[in-house]
């Protein structure tokens, strides 16, 4: 039986998946499929902004991205940003 999970960070859905650990919240398959559908249909954001999915309302919120740093991102940090995390 597959278990479904989500990670909420600062009020936003940061990630969903089927590989759980202690830092995730278990969800139903229906909630997982709904979140997956929302993520796949995320709106495009203008330069310097990103849409993030609010965990409480499941609505997209446009947020301004921080100014770029001179540091190079690691592959894990880039993936975290793509999946809606803070990249911190």
31-42 pLDDT, tens per residue?
Answer: 999 999 999 999
Residue 55 maps to a domain: yes
CA distances from 32 to 17, 22, 36, 62, 68 (A): 8, 18, 6, 22, 32
Is residue 87 assigned to a domain?
no
Domain count, the chain: 1
pLDDT at 79: 82
In the predicted model, what is the mean pLDDT of residues 46-64?
95
More confident residue, 84 or 60: 60
When comparing pLDDT for 43 and 85, which is higher? Answer: 43
Q: Is there a domain that residue 88 lies in?
A: no
Residue 50 belongs to domain spanning = 4-82
Angstrom CA distances, 34 to 20, 29, 38, 40, 48, stand at 18, 9, 6, 10, 27
């Amino acid at each position: 039986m597959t278990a479904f999970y989500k990670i909420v960070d600062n009020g936003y859905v940061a990630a969903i998946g089927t590989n759980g650990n202690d830092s995730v919240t278990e969800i139903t398959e229906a909630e997982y499929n709904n979140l997956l559908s929302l993520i796949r249909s995320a709106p495009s954001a203008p330069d310097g902004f990103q849409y993030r999915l609010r965990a409480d309302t499941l609505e997209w919120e446009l947020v301004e991205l921080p100014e770029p740093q001179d540091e190079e991102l690691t592959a894990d940090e880039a993936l975290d940003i793509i999946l809606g995390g803070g990249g911190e």
